[in-house]
Structure 1
Amino acid sequence: MDYLSLKHFHMACAATSGALFLLRGAWMLRASPALQQRWVRIAPHLVDTALLASAITLAVWSGQSPGSQPWLTAKLCALLLYIVLGTIALKRGKTLAVRATAFAAALLVFAYIVAVAVTRQPWPF
């Protein structure tokens, strides 16, 4: 696989990951039993693993690292925040209000990550 193909794969994984998070969040807000389906619990982990592996491979192939590229540092920090907010939204939030707030914040962080990736600027707006 060449760099451009891997980049497109990474972008597809990011879009799929975001879509799955949006779907799971919508189901969480509606208290849908669909959240308990086996594929719903497994697929996001598979997609996110592919997303992370492709990101690491792209960084290695291009010789970039978070320490030398401020935009990559911003993406990595935002990713950690996104993960924390996502777990609060989908699992750890004690009330629906907490979960909904974490879900909305996670979506904003996801949008920030995408904007940083597109512009390659830590402050893309």
Structure 2
Amino acid sequence: MDYLSIKHVHMGCAAASGALFLLRGAWMLRASPALQQRWVKILPHLIDTALLASAIALAVWSGQSPGSQPWLAAKLCALLAYIVLGTIALKRGKTPAVRGAAFALAVLVFAYIVAVAVSKQAWPL
């Protein structure tokens, strides 16, 4: 698979991951039983695994690393924050207010990750 194909897989997985997170967040805010469906618990892990694998493939293919590219380091740090906020929003938050705040922050962090990816700048303003 060439670089452009891997990049398109990565972008598609990022879009699917973000859309599914928004859907799961909406269900969480409504306390919907849909959030407990089996596919809702499995599909995000499959998409995010493909997203991570394609990210690693892109970095290896292009010879870039977080140590040499500040934008990539920023994206990686933001990814960790997104994961933590996402788990608080969808699983670990003790109250609806905590889950809602974590969800809103996770959406902002996701938008930041996309902006960094598009601009290749750690501060994409």
User: TM-score, normalized by length of structure 1?
Assistant: 1.00
In 1, the alpha carbon distance for the partners of 2:93 and 2:121 equals 32
- Segments of 5+ residues of structure 1 without an aligned counterpart are none
In 2, the alpha carbon distance for the partners of 1:123 and 1:44 equals 28
Partner of 2:87: 87
Cα root mean square deviation, aligned: 0.3
- Segments of 5+ residues of structure 2 without an aligned counterpart are none
Over 2 Å off, 4+ runs: none
Among all aligned residue pairs of Structure 1 and Structure 2, give the percentage whose two residues are the same amino acid. 85
Partner of 1:25: 25
Q: Deviations over 1:13-54 (max 9, x none)?
A: 000000000000000000000001000000000000000000
In 2, the alpha carbon distance for the partners of 1:87 and 1:36 equals 15
Partner of 1:43: 43
**Secondary structure of residue in 2 paired with 1:122:** coil
Q: How many residues align?
A: 125
Partner of 2:101: 101
In 1, the alpha carbon distance for the partners of 2:116 and 2:48 equals 18
User: TM-score, normalized by length of structure 2?
Assistant: 1.00
Alignment of 1:3-82 (within 5 A): 3-82=3-82
